[in-house]
Amino acid sequence: MIELINSEQDLARQKFEVLVPTMGALHAGHQSLIKLGKTLSDSVLTTVFVNPLQFESKDDLAKYPKTLDHDLKLAEQAGATALFAPTVEVVYPTQITKISAGAVGDLYEGSSRAGHFAGVLTVVKRLFDLTKPKYAIFGEKDFQQLFLIKEMVQRLALPIEIIAAPIIREPDGLAMSSRNVRLTEADRKSALIISKALQQSNLEEMHKVLATEPGFKLDYLAEIDEQNFGPAGSDTQYRRAIIAGWVNGVRLLDNKRMGSDA
């Protein structure tokens, strides 16, 4: 039986080796993170906290799905030991000192969502301080977020190993996301253009595919060097195409490693 934890005091009584941070509205993608965590330790803590610091608007924050009872069931099915669902007051009991995301934090997602990554890093660092895990698992779908969390851990010399988990997709190819519940049937058909575009071998062909779907509004499409998040060059060993845009006001992200190592 999974344990629901709400307070810092109850959390401090236990030790969890693996942390799987989420904002709730769990799906099979989140479950894959928990299952990966179970291969590292029997002690896996999932967190559900909708972090207000990383939303660019109060409206987007209000629309974010909140399904704690369902989250508990899915976390338990995947093998989580406990679920930590703190209030804002527990996570941020005093004045908040935000953690800078640096120059990379101003690119791509950071360019479109001012302050987003500072909010992400601030809450992740706070959750690390509260839970003190040996491992923390994050999905590759939010690839820029994953990069910045790894960079923060290295910069602050935190004794935590960050584990990257692959993107989990719906049978039709759409990357799983908690925001997908806001898509209508017609919206989902439009959203499929993202994964179709990523099947192409270069950015030019991707742009051509995206242009065929009027229901998708592109924010950015780029090929980056996974090692430094700069533009991929001819000598880049690990390159990745990253994409973001909107379908009927719902923001969607996806990415794919390119080249022979894909």
* β-sheet bridge partners, residue 57: none
With vertex at residue 37, the alpha carbon angle to CA 34 and CA 43, rounded to the nearest 5 degrees, is 100
* β-sheet bridge partners, residue 169: 175
Judge whether 223 and 207 are in contact, CB under 8 Å: no
Reduce the DSSP state of residue 258 to 3 states and report it: strand
- φ, ψ of residue 239 in degrees (nearest 5): -115, 150
* β-sheet bridge partners, residue 182: none
Which DSSP category does 181 fall into? G
Closest CA to 71 of 137, 19, 26: 26
Which DSSP category does 104 fall into? G
> Among this protein's residues, is 27 annotated catalytic?
no
- As given in the structure block, the two tokens for residue 19 are 């942390």
Which residue is catalytic, options 27, 30, 70, 207? 30
Which DSSP category does 173 fall into? S
- φ, ψ of residue 71 in degrees (nearest 5): -60, -40
The set of catalytic residues is 30
